[in-house]
Copies of this chain bind each other. A is one copy, B any other.
Amino acid sequence: MPMRVVDVERVRGLPLFCGVSDETFGAVTAGAFLQKFPAGTTLLHEGDPVDFLYVLLDGLVELEGTWNDKETTLAVLRPVSTFIFAAVALDAHALMSARTVERSDILMLSGEALRRAMQTDPRFSYAATLELAGCYRGLVRSLKNQKLRGGAERLANYLITQKVRQGGAETFTLPHEKRLLASLLGMTPENLSRAFATLTGYGVVINGPEVTIARPVVLERLAKPDPLIDNHQPPSVTPLGQAERELWPASRAG
């Protein structure tokens, strides 16, 4: 339950915290929980008031939305990521549910303390602004992806993005169940299957969770990846915030 030293260092190194004063960091992490959750745990339900900022340190978390007995996956988060920051900042109720997909280590930081810290430490609230701006742009990308592309195109771009993020090798492994991927891509599991079958004609070979892109040029001609929609961020050793993930590869003004 209390944070281990190694975890404190990890959190301290996040872009959200690495510039803040020790006082601010202490105040924010004072009443913090570090908890392990099994797979399939609902951390937060749509519509609930939000008391904590969540930081995924290890594992996999799904953010999902519901309406009229249908549900859809809005994002799948990998470590290290914060989530429901916007609701915490505004002290509002959650617009989406959060669920662990795998066993996960999650840090929970008091929303109250965070809001106080944002009002006193300008470096922290600046970092918070950048983090939120990065999250915002991620959603803009998702919305464009959803409204402008068809199912097979979304899948093709997802595969290309995964390939880059996992190091660029010709073959890689899907990070989770296909039914979850279907929901993320905005289609049914049945249609995801058919979309995979379609991509077979573009040099994609499927073997369970293993995917190999045999003819990248052919697949890209279908996918038409676009830096204004897809964020082809290569893997990194140091933990990045959503802001840094958005700024890649630019680092324009600094």
Of B92, B96, B136, B148, the residue contacting A135 (CB under 8 A) is B136
Given contacts A67-B144, A119-B126, A122-B122, contact A228 B47 (CB under 8 A): yes
In the complex formed, the residue of B with least CB distance to A139 is B139
Q: CB distance B92 to A250 under 8 Å?
A: yes
Contacts of A120 in B (CB 8 A): 122
Number of copies: 2
Q: CB distance A144 to B72 under 8 Å?
A: yes
Binds B, one of A81-89, A160-168, A173-181, A201-209: A81-89
Q: CB distance A85 to B140 under 8 Å?
A: no
**How many angstroms between the C-alpha atoms of A126 and B121 in the bound complex?**
10
Of B49, B70, B243, the residue contacting A90 (CB under 8 A) is B243
Q: CB distance A91 to B140 under 8 Å?
A: no
Q: What per-residue 1/0 map shows which CB atoms of A56-88 lie under 8 Å from chain B? A: 000000000111101110100000000001110
**How many angstroms between the C-alpha atoms of A68 and B178 in the bound complex?**
27
Contacts of A228 in B (CB 8 A): 46-47, 65-67, 93, 95
In the complex formed, the residue of B with least CB distance to A144 is B65
In the complex formed, the residue of B with least CB distance to A143 is B143
Contacts of A250 in B (CB 8 A): 92-93
Count of A residues near B, CB < 8 Å? Answer: 59
Flag whether A214 is at the interface (Cβ < 8 A). Answer: no
**How many angstroms between the C-alpha atoms of A147 and B65 in the bound complex?**
9
Of B123, B132, B141, B224, the residue contacting A129 (CB under 8 A) is B132
Contacts of A65 in B (CB 8 A): 140, 143-144, 147-148, 228-229
Q: CB distance A247 to B92 under 8 Å?
A: yes
In the complex formed, the residue of B with least CB distance to A153 is B68
Q: Which 10 A-B pairs have the closest CB atoms?
A: A86-B133, A122-B122, A125-B125, A89-B133, A139-B139, A67-B148, A65-B144, A86-B136, A72-B147, A132-B132
